């Protein structure tokens, strides 16, 4: 893959991840906005979400490695994503200052990742079964 194509691919996927994260966080903020205004993201949080999304998109390349098992790819991806989350969101965003917000944030990250892992694993197994079931094309008229 060319570097320009790789960069565009990472940026595009990062924007999709950013949109999903932002919609989920704003949805949670809308539900909890009457009780606690701290869940409505500020501009700083939007920038941190964007940074995290772009970095997470670059880390998605781990999932493309075919030489290691699916479990190991997901474990490496989770470890890297958790490290990125800890640095980009928890440390830079200051979540470590409030224990309740930090706990909710970590739980939301883990639940989101588990949903992603289940969907990704099901998709990869389905793709593998489809590829196994296909027979090579044989020309009938020659």
DSSP-assigned states of every residue in 47-61:
HHHHHHHHHHHHHGG
Residue 142 lies in a domain: no
Residue 118, Cβ density class (10 Å: 0-12 exposed, 13-18 middle, ≥19 buried): exposed
Residue 138 lies in a domain: no
pLDDT of residue 15: 92
Decide which of 113 and 1 is more confident: 113
Q: Taking CA 56 as the corner, what is the angle to CA 106 and CA 124, rounded to the nearest 5 degrees? A: 95
Residue 139 lies in a domain: no
136 three-state secondary structure = coil
Instruction: Report residue 45 as tokens.
Output: 């949080």
Answer whether 0.85 is exceeded by the pTM: no
| Nearest partner of 53 among 29, 84, 25, judged by Cα | 84
**Cα separation of 78 and 53, whole Å?**
14
The domain total for the chain is 1
Q: What is the mean pLDDT of residues 90-113?
A: 83
Q: Token match 């991840």: residue?
A: 17
Residue 109, pLDDT above cutoff 80: yes
Domain containing residue 51: 3-133
| 64: Cα separation from own chain's centroid | 14
Residue 1, pLDDT above cutoff 60: no
Residue 141 lies in a domain: no
């Amino acid at each position: 893959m060319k570097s320009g194509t790789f960069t565009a691919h990472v940026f595009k996927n990062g924007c999709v991840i950013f949109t999903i994260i932002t919609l989920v966080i704003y949805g949670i903020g809308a539900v909890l906005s009457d009780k606690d205004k701290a869940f409505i993201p500020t501009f700083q949080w939007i920038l941190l979400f964007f940074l995290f999304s772009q970095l997470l998109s670059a880390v998605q390349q781990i999932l493309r490695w075919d030489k290691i098992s699916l479990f190991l790819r997901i474990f490496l991806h989770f470890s890297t994503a958790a490290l990125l989350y800890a640095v980009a969101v928890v440390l830079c965003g200051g979540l470590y200052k409030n224990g309740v917000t930090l706990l909710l944030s970590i739980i939301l990250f883990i639940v989101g990742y588990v949903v992603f892992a289940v969907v990704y694993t099901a998709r990869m197994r389905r793709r593998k079964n489809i590829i196994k079931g296909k027979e090579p094309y044989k020309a009938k008229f020659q």
